[in-house]
Amino acid sequence: MNMKNEYLKSAIQFAKEAGQLILENMNQSNTIQQKLNHADLVTEVDQLSEDLLRKQIKTMYPDHWILSEEATGQEDPFEIIKKEKSGIGWIIDPIDGTTNFIHRIPHFAVSIGIVNGGEPMIGVVYNPATDDLYYAVKGEGAFHNETSIQVSKESGIQQAVLATGFPSKEWKENSSVSKQIHALTGKCRNIRLLGAASLDLCFVAKGLISGFWHDELNPWDTAAGLLILQEAGGKVTTRCGQLYNLENRTLVASNGFIHDSLLKLLQF
């Protein structure tokens, strides 16, 4: 087994173990804390899941660095990414979609991205509530539960179902996201707010939706889903149209065919 396949096998194992822990605690009474505001939440299960993932990674790969949501504290994750250009790193979100988890909406995931030299090498996104596993190895295609996946073929924005989300600080009246949605209203088939960026990227990869955009995402939101989408034939840029990397703060993802139209509508 080559090293990339070993890392993939480990990432899937760790994600499923964390997923089992999450499910076991889903119907329990969990302590909920606010981070930035009442829309930015964390539970004790987020921390338990992260602790499990970090322990497993450090046990098997002690020389690899880790960037995880709950352990960053006040550090800027984008600055950490810039510093960690060498070696292999694991970028993890122990529960992407915490609000959905709290309200028992089955759209949340464990997200694990493995990078080498700052570039995504492996992506694993696992939804334990539905047992949906998405994964990719760079250069080897994208998969959903062992079945190869590809982006949708819609070529017109009018036929496209899109998704987005509100950054926590933008959950307010007259937010920039509201203006973006207004700019697309009536131009596309419809817009969904699903609440877990890693899974939204996988939905684009599988062709369930044709585009997704979001501002102020963190590397743990995108490191896994980014590669899965790219390996499924999708396109990912910043809102300015530049090639997206993990140091960027805006993201526009699509099947590629509608990308220019989507970017144009988001420029105002």
- 85 in the same domain as 217: no
- 206 in the same domain as 118: no
- Contact yes or no for 226/114 (Cβ under 8 A): no
CATH number assigned to the domain comprising residue 254: 3.40.190.80
- 86 in the same domain as 62: yes
Locate 42 and state its tokens.
């964390």
Among candidate residues 113, 148, 183, the one where a domain is terminated = 148
CATH number assigned to the domain comprising residue 38: 3.30.540.10
The burial of 186, by beta-carbon neighbours within 10 Å (0-12 exposed, 13-18 middle, 19 or more buried), is given as: exposed
pTM of this structure: 0.93
- 186 in the same domain as 122: no
Domain range spanning residue 140? 3-148
Structural domain total, the chain: 2
Q: What is the SS3 assignment for 36?
A: coil
- 113 in the same domain as 8: yes
Encode the chain (268 residues) as per-residue pLDDT tens digits. Answer: 588 999 999 999 999 999 999 999 887 756 655 554 444 446 889 999 999 999 999 999 999 999 997 776 557 887 777 776 678 999 999 999 999 999 999 999 999 999 998 899 999 999 999 999 999 999 999 999 999 999 999 999 999 999 999 987 877 888 999 999 999 999 999 999 999 999 999 999 999 999 999 999 999 999 999 999 999 999 999 999 999 999 898 999 999 999 999 999 998 7
- 172 in the same domain as 140: no
